[in-house]
Structure 1
Amino acid sequence: MDPPTAGLSRRGILGLGAAVAFGVCDSRPAAAWEPAPERTLRLFNRQTGEGFEGVYWAEGRPVTEAMARIDWVLRDHNGDICRRIDLALLNRLSEMQEKLDSPHPFEVLSAFRSRETNRHVEGAATGSLHLEGRAVDLRLQGRRAVDLYRCALSFGDGGAGCYAARNFVHVDTGPTRRWAGG
């Protein structure tokens, strides 16, 4: 007995592949097409005492009210200047919280900074990703900075800096870079 593709031209085989692929797609259960699961964050701004704890991503998209609250909590508190915080940064923080499995929120030391504020931060780069809402400096109660740093490194992309002496890490969504500070 000949195999099912015997005697088929290249075009026929490609057509068969399309038909099989179409049939597979058509036969998938609805659950396979559900949007990404909910994503949550726990944040506490050390400068203002404000926080966010909850779902910021649901049904395949950002939760508008949660995003507005996060933007406010992570604002430049010197002038109450808000900027949209990068969704990729929030996703990274959420993933880090899952990996670290801590009941405590991230203690945010600095997130969005205006140019004016950035000028007054010791050692801040003039092109800092804090200016774009793509960077955060943080710590986590009960964890050493090096533990957070290793967690950030485990993703393999973005920027990560460890400031062990001051017990905080820098995490950003820029090009892949690694450093240790004082």
Structure 2
Amino acid sequence: MTDQNKLAVTRRGVLGVFAATMVAAAPTYSNAFGLLRGAGDVRRIRMYSGRTGESVDTIYWIEGEYIPEVVKEINNFMRDWRTDDKTKMDLRTIDIMAAAHSLMDVSEPYMLLSGYRSPKTNAMLRSQSSGVARNSLHMKGQAADLRLKSRSVGQMAKAAEACASGGVGRYSRSNFVHMDCGPVRHWGG
């Protein structure tokens, strides 16, 4: 076995133990950051939008506190780009996204396909696709659809599922993963 294979096995082992620990404990959103304890106690999110050309690369949580000005920046970034409507994004979703990103050990920012969706936008998308939920968590600021060039849908979904903190949808044909802070569940292929 090469050194690189040993590293991969070790990483898989760590992720497996992490996932088992998260399932064994009552799922709380703080579980998503169990791996980061003792590592500076900061949370960072990196995203860009192909629709608006905007990007965000910021630390939004330090030493147990969300940074209000940065949270406002994230809310604005994750707005409904079709209507320019904004909401307060549920920070549990941001935490899940950041934890999954960290687990994948990638520096590439997420491409945000959809964050907040206004009811008008959700209704329009629903009329065009059977895959859009009537009561989508996107309308509550509790979901995001994300893509990475350097990771497959399967890799992204496994990292999000390891957080055991919300819903994870695999949309392989469209090459994105849905992450939300609703009940723990997963779907898609």
Report the TM-score, using the length of structure 2 for normalisation.
Answer: 0.74
CA distance in 2, matches of 1:112, 1:45: 13
Confirm or deny: 8 A CA contact 2:114 2:145 kept in the other structure: yes
Which residue pairs with 1:3 in the alignment?
Answer: none
With CA pairs under 8 Å and 6+ residues apart, which has the higher RCO, 1 or 2? 2
CA distance in 1, matches of 2:49, 2:74: 10
In the TM superposition, residue 131 of structure 1 has moved relative to its aligned partner by 0.4
**What is the percent sequence identity of the aligned residues?**
35
Equivalent AA in structure 2 for residue 37 of structure 1: D
CA distance in 1, matches of 2:124, 2:80: 12
Which residue pairs with 2:41 in the alignment?
Answer: 37
CA distance in 2, matches of 1:79, 1:157: 29
CA distance in 1, matches of 2:124, 2:99: 31
Report the TM-score, using the length of structure 1 for normalisation.
Answer: 0.77
Specify every segment of 5 or more residues in structure 2 that has no aligned partner in the other structure, as ranges: 1-37
Flag the structure with larger Rg.
1
CA distance in 1, matches of 2:186, 2:101: 20
Q: Which of 110, 117, 123 is the matching residue for 2:114?
A: 110
Question: How many residues are aligned here?
Answer: 147
Which residue pairs with 1:175 in the alignment?
Answer: 183
Matched, 1:53 2:57: yes
CA distance in 2, matches of 1:146, 1:102: 15
Matched, 1:154 2:162: yes
Equivalent AA in structure 1 for residue 177 of structure 2: V
In the TM superposition, residue 94 of structure 1 has moved relative to its aligned partner by 1.1
Specify every segment of 5 or more residues in structure 1 that has no aligned partner in the other structure, as ranges: 1-33
Runs of 4+ in 1 over 2 A off after TM superposition: none
